[in-house]
Structure 1
Amino acid sequence: MPLFSQTQGDPTHPTLVFLHGFLGSVNDWSETINHLKGSYYCVCLDLPGHGHSASITAPLEAGFTYCHRLIRCALDDLKINQYTLVGYSLGGRIALDYARTQNDPDLKNLILESAHIGLASAEEKAQRYSHDLNWAKRFATENIMQSIYEWYEQTVFSDLSCSEKDRLINSRSCNYGVCLANMLLATSLARQTDMHPFLESNHLRITALPIYYCFGEKDQKFKNLAKQLSIQHKLNVTQFDAVGHNIHQQAPLQYAQFIAKQITT
């Protein structure tokens, strides 16, 4: 079953492909795309277990590989050639691993928003899988509104006001808990390949893939990660002031301008 896709803009314009985060959908990008669709062909995909792709189940042992195959099929169905891949959080992790594994000559730029690059040690991965397994059990067994409410109580979302959290919770309430639980485990950070070697090898290539990383000023966890990426891998990093983990929803115009700048630079 193919991933649900939503397109806006002129197909003859440069193509942007958007991958949302956990609990999200194609709708998350609407405000940003309103500022881009006049100059770009914008393609949004619903990831497995989310939105109109909720019935698609990723295998637990090969979740990333399965997502890559579905993304490639979606791009082929839409007859997309050269494109920029934009991923937020979970979508960013999938996008980064896609770039690592697919060696796709049509992928011209990679834009990552608040995305982790993987864990190195077996101990860290075991701890993370235990953490994700606990959340998966909550999503699969608890009331969906309660599970989502608890999700947004995590430290990474501490910058959100009560009204912002309420808006997000209401917009996420149409999700199905069991589908979310499956996707959470299939694409757990514990199952993600450590991206440090890929980032290092890409940096040293003559024809390196341009990778742009952005984070919110209020998101201390990913602010620290971005600093590390800038020093260790010379990655192009950008801070968005006065926002947290979800930049494209808190500052859609600035985020759209950021994307346009990277592509035209």
Structure 2
Amino acid sequence: MVSVMTSVRGINVHYQIINPRAEKTIVFLHGFTGSTKTWDTVIQSFQKDYRIFAIDLIGHGLTDSPYSVRRYSMEEQVELLHEFFEARRVPSFTLVGYSMGGRVALAFAVKYASMIEKLVLESSSPGLPTEAERTARRKNDRTLAEKIEKNGLDAFVKEWENIPLFESQKALPTPKQLVIRQERLNQRAVGLANSLRGMGTGQQPSYWDELKKMTKPVLLITGELDQKFQQKAIDMEEKFLCCENKTVPDVGHAVHVENPQIFATIIEEHLETI
């Protein structure tokens, strides 16, 4: 695995790549408070015939955390990824996104459908369908962003790892929990705060109406213990033209963290059969 820093649209972007000469390409996008490190175990499970990119999104990992909220918009993140792939002459690929990264992946697939071979969304959504819901979410995200900046990362991470969405992660071995915590603590307050302000679920457009226009195969993965996103996946499956919906038993929101081997196997089987 090679770690690389490059400049795209005036942003220093960090990514990792393995098997650079393989013909088939898979791209992984992490969730909020995550980084390329979240995929380390998953990537090791893939066969060597896949070239794999894992990318730190704006405000996360080793990628820049600008002070301008405008740079964090969903539209800006999509354009940054597009120029990243264009510069590396990657014309098409399977795109995998988790949670926030899944929202980014879907936004990219909506705008640049011709570049997508297959789309894999883990515990994600197309956004909020009504303006009232988006307004309420923007207010909550602004409040959380201000708390992060005011109270610092330590206080935020302590609160964040105890929200119901991540309850199932408390059953993981202690060393693995510590790795997850450290990944969150390695973020920057300005990056997380501006990510919430710029491309939080309430800030992004709703893509619900775009789902039925997508013709590429879609794989949805959720955890059995994450009922909220399991229901979102069911609702999404009804709209996609070509969709497979997989529920992984005994895990929650971060399937790839709680059971990386099964997560990788589901994707590989999907790529081989569709």
Higher strand residue share: 2
What is the identity percentage for the equivalent residue pairs of Structure 1 and Structure 2? Answer: 27
Q: Is residue 77 of structure 1 aligned with residue 84 of structure 2?
A: no
Residue in 2 aligned with 1:64?
A: 74
Q: Once structures 1 and 2 are overlaid, which stretch shifts more, 191-200 or 52-61?
A: 52-61
Query: How much has 1:219 moved relative to structure 2?
Result: 0.5
Residue in 2 aligned with 1:205?
A: none
Q: Is residue 46 of structure 1 aligned with residue 56 of structure 2?
A: yes
Q: Secondary structure at the match of 1:191?
A: coil
Q: Match of 1:110, as an amino acid?
A: L
CA distance in 2: counterparts of 1:102 and 1:155, whole angstroms = 34
Asked if the contact 2:65–2:190 (Cα under 8 Å) also holds between the matched residues in 1, the reply is no
Q: Is residue 170 of structure 1 aligned with residue 179 of structure 2?
A: no
Q: TM-score, normalised by structure 1?
A: 0.91
Aligned-residue Cα RMSD (Å) equals 1.8
Residue in 1 aligned with 2:164?
A: 155
Q: Secondary structure at the match of 2:219?
A: strand
Asked if the contact 2:125–2:233 (Cα under 8 Å) also holds between the matched residues in 1, the reply is no
Change (3 A) 1:146 1:62: closer
Output one character per residue of 1:173-208: Cα deviation in whole Å (capped at 9) or x when no partner. 111111210011111111222222111222xxxxx1
Output one character per residue of 1:77-131: Cα deviation in whole Å (capped at 9) or x when no partner. 322122100000000001101111223x231111000012111111111111111
Q: Secondary structure at the match of 2:13?
A: coil
| Structure 2 residue runs without a partner (length 5+) | 1-10
Q: Secondary structure at the match of 1:85?
A: strand
Query: How much has 1:170 moved relative to structure 2?
Result: 2.3
CA distance in 1: counterparts of 2:75 and 2:56, whole angstroms = 16
Q: Match of 1:193, as an amino acid?
A: P
Q: Is residue 21 of structure 1 aligned with residue 31 of structure 2?
A: yes
Q: Once structures 1 and 2 are overlaid, which stretch shifts more, 57-66 or 146-155?
A: 57-66
CA distance in 1: counterparts of 2:53 and 2:197, whole angstroms = 26
Q: Is residue 211 of structure 1 aligned with residue 218 of structure 2?
A: yes
CA distance in 1: counterparts of 2:162 and 2:141, whole angstroms = 15
CA distance in 2: counterparts of 1:83 and 1:58, whole angstroms = 30
Number of aligned residues: 259
Query: How much has 1:44 moved relative to structure 2?
Result: 0.7
Q: Match of 1:8, as an amino acid?
A: I
Q: TM-score, normalised by structure 2?
A: 0.88
Residue in 2 aligned with 1:191?
A: 203
**Residue from 210, 226, 237 that aligns with 1:230:** 237
Q: Secondary structure at the match of 1:36?
A: coil
Q: Match of 1:100, as an amino acid?
A: V
CA distance in 2: counterparts of 1:171 and 1:121, whole angstroms = 33
Asked if the contact 1:86–1:111 (Cα under 8 Å) also holds between the matched residues in 2, the reply is yes
Q: Match of 1:21, as an amino acid?
A: G
Residue in 2 aligned with 1:264?
A: 272
| Structure 1 residue runs without a partner (length 5+) | 203-207
